[in-house]
Amino acid sequence: MPSTCAIVVHPSAEALALAAAERLASLVAETERPPFFLALSGGATPQRLYEILAGDRFRERVAWARLEIFFADERAVPPDHLDSNFAMVARALLAHVPVKAHRMPAESGDAEAYARLVGTRVVARRDGVPVLDLVLLGIGTDGHTASLFPGTPALDETRNWVVMNEVPSLGARRMSFTYPLINASRRVWILATGGAKREIVMQCLRAPAAGEPGGAALRQRWPVVGVRPHEGELVWWLDEAAAG
C-alpha cells in the first residue's frame, strides 16, 4: 500500500472527536486479524475522544476485546501523577471499558523494555519494525509530536523504536515512540484543534516531507513534519479553528 495523506476538517472539536470515535469503532470492528493495535497520545486534544469512546454511545458498541492499547509517549512520573498521560487516559477511558492497555513506565527510564513489549505483542513487521494499526498523535505549538521535541536527540534515532528523550525546553526527560516505529504503522492520525494551533498546522502542512529537499532540516524544527508512514495512511484531523 502506498503512503497517503489526507486532511479532514470538522466544524468543531466536539464534531471531530465524535467522527474520530466513529471511525475508530469501525476500524476495530473491521480488522481482519485482531487485536487492533492502537497507540495513544496525551494532551488535551484527544481527551474528548477518549471520553466519547467511554460514553453511552460507544461503550457497548466498540469491540473492546479486539483492541490493545499502547502509549506513544509518557512523562517520567508515576501512573497517578497529574502530568501522567496514563492517568488522563485511565480517567477518561480505561476505567470505564474492558480494554487491554500497556502503560508506558517512563519513570523507569527503560525504553528498551517498552520496545520489547511492543515487539512481542505486535507480530506484523515492516522492514523488521512492528506495524501498529493506528498511532494517535497531537501537535504542540512548537511543532512537537509525541515527545519528539524540536532539536532533541530522539529525532535522529534510526534504530530504536522507543527512547528516553532529553527535552531541555521542559527541563525533563520523556519516553517516546520514534520515527521508525511511528512511520512503520498502518495509520497515523494527527489531531489538532483550536486557533492556537492554526499557524503551526499551516506551516507543517506546507513543509516538504522528510524525504523531499529541505524536509530533513525542517523536521528538526517542527518534528511533526517527520511523521509520514512509509506504506500507510496519514490523516490530519482538524477543527475549523485549527484549519483556518
The grid cell for 167 is 527535552
Q: Measured from the CB of residue 105, what is the shortest distance to ligand 6PG in angstroms?
A: 15
Q: How large is the greatest C-alpha to C-alpha distance in the chain, in angstroms?
A: 48
Does residue number 105 form part of the binding site for ligand 6PG (CB under 6 A)? no
Residue 23: partners with Cβ closer than 8 Å, 6 or more residues away:
none
Candidate segments 43-51, 52-60, 119-127, 214-222, binder of ligand 6PG by CB under 6 A? 43-51
Does residue number 42 form part of the binding site for ligand 6PG (CB under 6 A)? yes
Q: Measured from the CB of residue 2, what is the shortest distance to ligand 6PG in angstroms?
A: 27
Q: Measured from the CB of residue 61, what is the shortest distance to ligand 6PG in angstroms?
A: 25
Residue from 85, 152, 165, 185 in contact with ligand 6PG (CB under 6 A): 85
Q: Which of residues 122-151 bind ligand 6PG (CB under 6 A)?
A: 138-140, 144-146
Q: Measured from the CB of residue 42, what is the shortest distance to ligand 6PG in angstroms?
A: 3
The grid cell for 166 is 532529553
Which is closer to ligand 6PG, CB of 45 or CB of 183? 45
Chain residue at closest Cβ approach to ligand 6PG: 138
Instruction: Report the C-alpha gap between 71 and 202 in whole angstroms.
Output: 27
Which is closer to ligand 6PG, CB of 42 or CB of 105? 42
Q: How far is CA 163 from CA 65, 72, 243, in A?
A: 29, 11, 31
The grid cell for 118 is 511492543
Instruction: Report the C-alpha gap between 4 and 9 in whole angstroms.
Output: 17
Sign of CA dihedral 77, 80, 84, 86: positive
Instruction: Report the C-alpha gap between 33 and 94 in whole angstroms.
Output: 23
Which is closer to ligand 6PG, CB of 45 or CB of 178? 45
SS3 175: strand
Does residue number 41 form part of the binding site for ligand 6PG (CB under 6 A)? yes
Instruction: Report the C-alpha gap between 140 and 176 in whole angstroms.
Output: 15
Sign of CA dihedral 31, 125, 233, 166: positive
Q: Measured from the CB of residue 32, what is the shortest distance to ligand 6PG in angstroms?
A: 29
Residue from 21, 24, 48, 73 in contact with ligand 6PG (CB under 6 A): 73
Candidate segments 37-45, 58-66, 108-116, 208-216, binder of ligand 6PG by CB under 6 A? 37-45
Binding residues (CB under 6 A) for ligand 6PG: these are 41-45, 73, 85, 138-140, 144-146
